[in-house]
Amino acid sequence: MIMPFVKGKSGNKAGKPKGTVNKTTIDLRQWINNFIEGQRDQIQKDWKELEPKDRIVLFEKLLKYSLPTLQATSLTTDFEKLTDEQLDLIILELKKVNHG
């Protein structure tokens, strides 16, 4: 009798648990970390030789590896549905933000 495939249930109880990182990925990450650690002095020297704008670009790229990524959110407002008082309040708050 053929059983239908159920996602998350392979039937192999000795299989890789969900969320387990691939050994190749672990090995590659370790190799990259070791390489960077061995090049620390050169990286710092190269950093100092970069133009300020290039340092900012590189810094921003490096942050992705040290800080959790925040998900973008969007806000949509149907201004037609707002009362005049609500619109006035929004305008007042925007003026505060723009004038510090």
pLDDT digits (tens, 9 = 90+) for 18-62: 777 788 888 998 998 899 899 999 999 999 999 999 999 998 888
Dihedral of CA atoms 59, 61, 64, 65 in degrees, nearest 10, equals -80
Q: Grade residue 96 by pLDDT with cuts at 50, 70 and 90.
A: confident
The predicted model scores a pTM of: 0.43
**How confident is residue 10, by pLDDT bands cut at 50, 70 and 90?**
low
For residue 25, which amino acid is it? T
Question: Quick check: 95 pLDDT over 90?
Answer: no
Q: Where are the domains of the chain?
A: 21-64
Q: Kindly give the interhelix angle for 40-49 and 23-38, rounded to the nearest 10 degrees.
A: 60
Helix or strand or coil: residue 9? strand
Residue range 61-79, pLDDT digits in tens: 888 877 777 777 777 778 8
